[in-house]
Amino acid sequence: MGVTLAKQQTTFRDYVRMGLVFTGAFAQVIMGAIPNIMGWKFNVGMRSREVQTLAVPATYAFAIWSVLFLGCIVFAIVQLLYPYQRDKTLRTVGWLAAIAFWGNTLWEWYVPFNSFGLGSLALIFIIFIALISAMFVLQDQKDRRPLFIPLKMLCGWISVATFVNISVTANFLSFNPFGLSPHMQALIIIVTAGIVTLAVAVYFKSAYYNFPTLWGLVAIYVININRQETQLAYWALTLGIVGFLVALAGQIQRRRTSLRV
């Protein structure tokens, strides 16, 4: 699908949208580094270690942020180019991307000062809703241009991060009304996250979305194998692999169908 022009003139609203996307893409990168640069007492990693649960992935998994940040910057630069300024899809998805980028920036500022309370959970939900809404828009418009791959990947990772945040927020607030063991709490979170990502795989058929979810669930497998929490580990691994393979198969089939039409 090519560039879809909604109007013949770039409007002030277009410039505002593009500016928010561009600055937000860089702001989330800068804010992630500021706690270390400024010598804040806490950063996101330190806060995360304070409220570790069995549903938190192995530390290496968070290296994916470097790929996601780079993808967001590429997206933010490309959407500035003249042919895309009046793009019909971007006139909707761009605002959602801006909400996600600036929401992530605010989350990165909030957590070092406040840890994983309800505020951080509310922010991660806002980010997730913005990104999954963008996925629905792209699905509705049948827009599968490579331009939007970074947003799909970011949505996949945020899907896992949302469930992880639910887990650590419950731990931070000591919220456990049913008296569940840490193992059972983590099992519920992991299975629910896996089922959601599998459902998304069936509906969107996007391996770009499901690769980051696979990455996160494999990292949960790795850390829980080391803890000898084998049940949690194998649930995470199985659901992550199945979700990715379903998405990949659906994406390949859809591409073959489109080529035959």
| Per-residue pLDDT reduced to its tens digit, 55-83 | 999 999 999 999 999 999 999 999 999 99
Per-residue DSSP letter, 227: T
pLDDT at 255: 86
Q: Say yes or no to pLDDT of 178 above 60.
A: yes
What tokens were used for 20? 């928010």
Q: Tell me the C-alpha distance between 162 and 196, whole Å.
A: 11
Within a domain: residue 182?
yes
Cβ neighbours for 10, distance < 8 A, ≥ 6 positions apart: 85, 86
Radius of gyration of the chain (CA): 19
Provide the residue range defining the domain that includes 209.
Answer: 12-260
- The count of domains in the chain is 1
Give 3-71 as a 3 state SS string.
CCECCCCCCHHHHHHHHHHHHHHHHHHHHHHHHHHCCCCCCHHHHHHHCCCCCCCCHHHHHHHHHHHHH
Q: Say yes or no to pLDDT of 2 above 90.
A: no
Q: Tell me the C-alpha distance between 14 and 193, whole Å.
A: 36
pLDDT at 5: 54
Q: Tell me the C-alpha distance between 125 and 106, whole Å.
A: 13
Answer whether 185's CB lies under 8 Å from 227's CB: no
For tokens 């509906």, name the residue.
203
Higher pLDDT, 5 or 136: 136
Within a domain: residue 228?
yes
Q: Say yes or no to pLDDT of 7 above 60.
A: no
Q: Say yes or no to pLDDT of 130 above 70.
A: yes
Within a domain: residue 2?
no
Query: Among 48-62, 70-84, 226-240, which stretch is predicted with the lowest mean pLDDT?
Result: 48-62
What tokens were used for 91? 């006139």
pLDDT at 171: 93
3 confidence band (pLDDT: 50, 70, 90): low
Within a domain: residue 6?
no
What percentage of the chain carries pLDDT values higher than 90?
A: 90
pLDDT at 4: 58
261 confidence band (pLDDT: 50, 70, 90): low
Average pLDDT rounded to a whole number, residues 111-115: 95
Distances (CA, A) of 129 to 86, 200, 214: 24, 14, 20
First to last CA, the chain: 14
Instruction: Cite the beta strand spans of 161-212 per DSSP E.
Output: none
- This prediction has a pTM of 0.94
Q: Say yes or no to pLDDT of 95 above 90.
A: yes
Residues in the chain: 261
pLDDT at 12: 95
Within a domain: residue 149?
yes
